[in-house]
Amino acid sequence: MPHADLPIHQRFTALVEDAPGPSWQALFERCWPGYRDWYLRSGVFGRPSYLESRRALRQHMPELVPVWERLVELAGGGDVEARALSMWCPPAYIAGCAQAVWIDPLGTQGPALVRNYDYAPALLEGNWLASRWCGQRVLAMSDCLWGALDGMNEAGLAASLSFGGRTQAGQGFGIPLVMRYLLEVSSTVDDACAILKRVPVHMSYSITLLDTEGHWATVFVGPDVATYVSRRRAITNFQHKVDWPEHAKATSAVERLTELEHLVDKTHSLPDVAAALLRPPLFQTSYRRGYGTLYSAVYQPANRVVELLWQDQRWQQSLRAPQAGERDIVFPTGPN
């Protein structure tokens, strides 16, 4: 663990590769040792078998099976690699995050999906991946090697996830792969909601969706509850109510939600909202406790543009012509 006073550095890399190939393989080789340790922390027999994992993918996400098979091949074809990449019943993980739908109070531009991703820097891939795995372009912040934390597709559907505030785990997929799936095969909020209603997830999350027609929804999913489609425009780290008070207090979940709801109350401009993402209480600095803000994002489906924001840098990409590149980010030192 680095000394508390030392700055924390993170490299973000944009990769453009239509079909899984050398770029993804290099990503895998760099990130796999950490993921392997995480996946096997309960032992090699503590996770579902290869056959169980393949069966789950074939049943719930058949369109992704050829992509999974190609990724497994690029990863060396091993049993553990295949099981981990299926993301069927993975180990539990908990993050922070805040997200909201902004609607222009003047009615002159389309709505935007805004979000802060809060987590431990050492556990962030930092890969911004542009691909065409299932036909349409998807630009997404990668997690678990081929899942997505947030992203947008060529049809103009934007999606973002946040932890739902409950520790219960059950039989289902890790949410990053579900996010990847809906971005690969959906065009509208309705399409994505239909997927979230039928695909099982292993922990509680809130997914905010926005499409080019200006339709939006925030969907509550969990392993032991029915999927609930809400009209909430802002969400942090609890769903209907605070179920984990200690986590809510540590991450200022209630305070962040109050701020977000104020920002999207139809009186603030998009630059105002984007600036607020980079200030407390929305911007968090508890990096070494696992919930510092690692990036902010603004998705604008109407023009297929997304921008990543940090304290001192901005990085804009277009779905129509994404560009490879890198950014080195230094996070402000905060509480430990």
> Is the bond leading into 281 cis (omega within 30 degrees of zero)?
yes
8-18+91-331 CATH choice from 3.60.60.10, 3.30.450.150, 3.40.50.10190, 3.30.1490.20? 3.60.60.10
Q: How far apart are CA 98 and CA 234, in angstroms?
A: 8
Q: CA–CA distance from 305 to each of 100, 102, 256, 269, 327 (Å)?
A: 17, 15, 25, 17, 18
3-state secondary structure of 260: helix
Show Cβ contacts of residue 309 under 8 Å, excluding neighbours closer than 6 positions. 274, 277, 278, 295, 296, 297, 298
Whole-angstrom Cα distance, residue 14 to residue 243?
Answer: 36
- Euclidean distance between CA atoms 56 and 10, whole angstroms: 34
What pLDDT score does 59 carry?
98
DSSP classification of residue 293 = E
Question: Model pTM?
Answer: 0.96
Residue that is written with structure tokens 């947030």 in the block: 150
Return averaged pLDDT per consecutive 10 residues of the chain, 336 residues in all.
69 98 97 96 91 98 98 98 98 90 94 97 95 98 97 98 95 98 98 98 98 97 97 96 95 96 93 97 92 96 98 97 97 68
Partners of 148 in the beta sheet?
Answer: 142
The pLDDT of residue 334:
60
**3-state secondary structure (DSSP) of residue 189:** helix
Length reported for the chain: 336
- Would you say 298 and 274 are in contact if contact means Cβ atoms under 8 Å apart? yes
